[in-house]
Amino acid sequence: MARYDRAITVFSPDGHLFQVEYALEAVRKGNAAVGVRGSDTVVLGVEKKSTPKLQDSRTVRKIVSLDTHIALACAGLKADARVLINRARIECQSHRLTVEDPVTVEYITRYIAGLQQKYTQSGGVRPFGLSTLIVGFDPYSEKPALYQTDPSGTFSAWKANATGRNSNSMREFLEKNYKETSGKETIKLAIRALLEVVESGGKNIEIAVMTHKDGLRQLEEAEIDEYVAEIEAEKAAAEAAKKGGFCFIILY
């Protein structure tokens, strides 16, 4: 069988793999995605582009489950994502069959990252153009986990991270405002981070929450609108307090 033997991803004279860096550019153009880890909950959020009127929005799911206890969101080329997700799903089941145990979040992240790396070092293929945020709970453990992979094939664990469009501003926001949260507070933190870069409203945000007991749950538009309303109210109150205090000082 004829096989390609010429690699497309080769080193530049100053040590860069340009194809991988171009893939990262593609990721930067993709939809914003954020992941936040709480003490008992882990939340994924993605920016939803406005759906054309004739499109069936149910078929466009941005946050997918890899197994009953693992979920994934990604930024970048969605077609590449489909391929990667299918392979990951097969690996989750294959692991269950050979070891009679569900995968740990780290194992499946390592597998996906390994797959992404393989495509930077094989003949005739280009790297996958997406970064993934993988969340879940390890079997026999109640602690949530959040991992990120990128087109180069590196992965690491995070308390909170963002990828895709304007990920830098989202990450800055998270760094400033991150604290150990649980339950609703974690959801609110994720939404607040997304709202930094996305127009507000349940129409433009997709949120999924994973808990150890209930697994993955996609929030309804109405629920998201509720949270957004809460957040805006809190923001307004904070502004008012600041302004009020300021006036107070001046008056005094």
Give the nearer residue to another protein in terms of CB position, either 91 or 206. 91
Residue from 10, 60, 90, 99 touching another protein (CB under 8 A): that is: 99
Residue from 100, 176, 213, 250 touching another protein (CB under 8 A): that is: 100
What minimum distance in Å lies between the beta carbon of 100 and another protein?
Answer: 4
State which H helix or E strand residue 112 sits in.
helix 105-118
What minimum distance in Å lies between the beta carbon of 233 and another protein?
Answer: 44
Give the nearer residue to another protein in terms of CB position, either 88 or 191. 88
Give the nearer residue to another protein in terms of CB position, either 41 or 109. 109
DSSP E strands in 68-137: the ranges are 70-76, 130-137
Asked if 212 is part of the footprint of another protein (rule: CB under 8 A), the reply reads no
CA distance 222 to 156: 34
Give the nearer residue to another protein in terms of CB position, either 101 or 226. 101
CA distance 189 to 157: 18
Q: Please tell me the number of Cα atoms within 13 Å of 164 on its side-chain side.
A: 25
State which H helix or E strand residue 224 sits in.
helix 221-251
Are 44 and 161 in contact by the 8 Å Cβ rule? The answer is: no
Asked if 140 is part of the footprint of another protein (rule: CB under 8 A), the reply reads yes
Binding site for another protein (CB under 8 A): 98-101, 104, 106-107, 110, 140
